[in-house]
Structure 1
């Protein structure tokens, strides 16, 4: 049996009433609206993009709220600086999960993306969350923020984490839906960890990566795909600068990991919608990638019964791209 949470679009006044009534909530939306909310049992982050009950939406006039179900026994929340994030597992609940929100383009974003798999205990409990964003046409001029409602503070540099204790009868699970599979062909490796790449190895031969992608007329809507402990993980291309010979990604590549180009998806929008409709789990929380929203044309399109924020990166233990991440509660065995 999976427990559920209520996820819906609301006015800031409606959300304020929920918080004042003692509801435990997660909130997503515009900074101006989030800043009006009272102190209480909530955390939140900025994004103007959502999967709603009516379909994909772009709005700065409403907030999206996840009301945590009664099976949540206890919560705590705090900010973590980039330097403090390595110790976040020390605060994990005995039975439950951690929900993490990180501002895009911050030092915390970079540190988490590149280092989290090396932190002690980080995989001991489900870690799920997302990267806060802004309007895509305001990148560089607007600043993503995260909010700790328990203290009434916000930050553009720190992560905020809510540690959630569940009743003993339930366990939390972090789950991923990924459309992409590695294609047959060249094996790509990289000499160093990072979001920006100049050199790579193609089947062991050193190449300039920008030149390689240009030579192959690579469709940058398709990510690179790697096998991380049995799961296919995407690294999405942000830009290819042929003049500078540099390629930038939305998540870092790692040395010692083999990557392949993703196999093309015949109809991105249809396949994405079908995968959601065919999945009969009942998620407590869902978030989806801004690239899926843009490339699959999800604005105005209903994605089954799935609702949640559209994000600048999804987190299921580590930073992911072009995936849908969701959280379920299951009966403890």
Structure 2
């Protein structure tokens, strides 16, 4: 078995069709209108029209971002597996002993919520690298469309299932998962919720029954800052999608009886993000995705993020679900 690598390119529909028909193993990100035109083959896909390409950040409903798994030989072919809310807990058990898994989950679904809440406790989790992203749609279309994933072998669109590609590596290679998160818990009010969900309002704030919507409005909270929970020493962000008249929509669910605080403000979002990138060794990067909110708040359209190119998404996976975090995976010799 030769070394595995992943090449990435932002390209067009015709190129995507050619690569699928050639039998290549692909991870594809594109707007739903493009995904529905792709033939069956060795690929997984998810809906998103935001990308970080070689020329910089791009918004397009016509272009296609393709990550091609190269170096596959013989019987060691990647496995493509769909997962629903009842089977997603098997994802780490299905992973190869030495390799990695790329997963795409549709935003706002039960399988998304289950992964967000329970992935750290799934059997075998953290033994094999799992990276991936949350599919979505153009922000103008949030009210009237659903996030999609695609089971490539059947060219089957799915709005309620995750899709994963499990890739084995030779003994001399290892996959390593890295993240860049600018945020940590702030010093403000401690917020708890009675219910788990993507849409919230009722909560306790420093122990007193309250409305989160009213609290955000009364205190002029900068909603570019996520709610942050400390999960065993790891800061996990829950990002705000929109503040409505009497509730708040989130990009990831908050969980009942978990303590959240709004993140410490970041003085200069763009500068902080670029500084964080400069401290990372990204030369062997094989996979990358970044959050739609980093894209928006760092004004990345037309700008480049080092050599890290990939889909810009509604959430990121580095073993567990993350928000407002850049995730990348390197393939290194060992």
| TM-score after normalising by structure 1 | 0.90
The yes-or-no answer on 1:161 pairing with 2:170 is no
2:299 equivalent in structure 1: 297
Cα offsets for 1:41-63 (capped at 9, x unmatched): 21111111100111100012221
Deviation of the 1:324 alpha carbon: 0.7
How do 1:37-116 and structure 2 match up within 5 A?
Answer: 37-70=38-71, 73-116=76-119
Cα offsets for 1:126-181 (capped at 9, x unmatched): 22111111111011223322112223222111111111111111222222111112
SS in 2 for 1:5: strand
Deviation of the 1:325 alpha carbon: 1.0
Aligned-CA RMSD value? 2.2
1:261 equivalent in structure 2: 262
Cα offsets for 1:93-130 (capped at 9, x unmatched): 12112211112233322332233334333333222111
Structure 1 contact 286–325 (Cα < 8 Å) conserved: yes
The yes-or-no answer on 1:195 pairing with 2:198 is yes
- Listed as ranges, the gaps of 5+ residues in structure 2 are none
- Listed as ranges, the gaps of 5+ residues in structure 1 are none
- Name the CA distance, whole Å, in 2 between partners of 1:42 and 1:158: 15
- Name the CA distance, whole Å, in 1 between partners of 2:232 and 2:320: 12
Structure 1 contact 169–331 (Cα < 8 Å) conserved: yes
2:141 equivalent in structure 1: 138
How do 1:162-311 and structure 2 match up within 5 A?
Answer: 162-241=165-244, 243-244=245-246, 246-282=247-283, 283-311=285-313
SS in 2 for 1:150: helix
- Name the CA distance, whole Å, in 1 between partners of 2:308 and 2:242: 30
Deviation of the 1:4 alpha carbon: 4.9
Cα offsets for 1:212-234 (capped at 9, x unmatched): 22222111111112222222211
Deviation of the 1:81 alpha carbon: 1.7
Structure 1 contact 71–166 (Cα < 8 Å) conserved: no
With 205-214 and 55-64 compared, the bigger mean Cα shift is at 205-214
1:3–1:266 distance in 2 versus 1, CA, 3 Å:
farther
SS in 1 for 2:154: coil
Deviation of the 1:259 alpha carbon: 2.1
- Name the CA distance, whole Å, in 1 between partners of 2:95 and 2:158: 22
Deviation of the 1:286 alpha carbon: 0.5
With 227-236 and 267-276 compared, the bigger mean Cα shift is at 267-276
SS in 2 for 1:172: strand
Structure 1 contact 3–328 (Cα < 8 Å) conserved: no
| TM-score after normalising by structure 2 | 0.90
Cα offsets for 1:182-225 (capped at 9, x unmatched): 22233333333322333333333333322322222111111112
Match of 1:316 among 311, 318, 323: 318
- Name the CA distance, whole Å, in 2 between partners of 1:157 and 1:181: 32
Structure 2 contact 198–254 (Cα < 8 Å) conserved: yes
Deviation of the 1:71 alpha carbon: 6.8
> How many matched pairs?
329
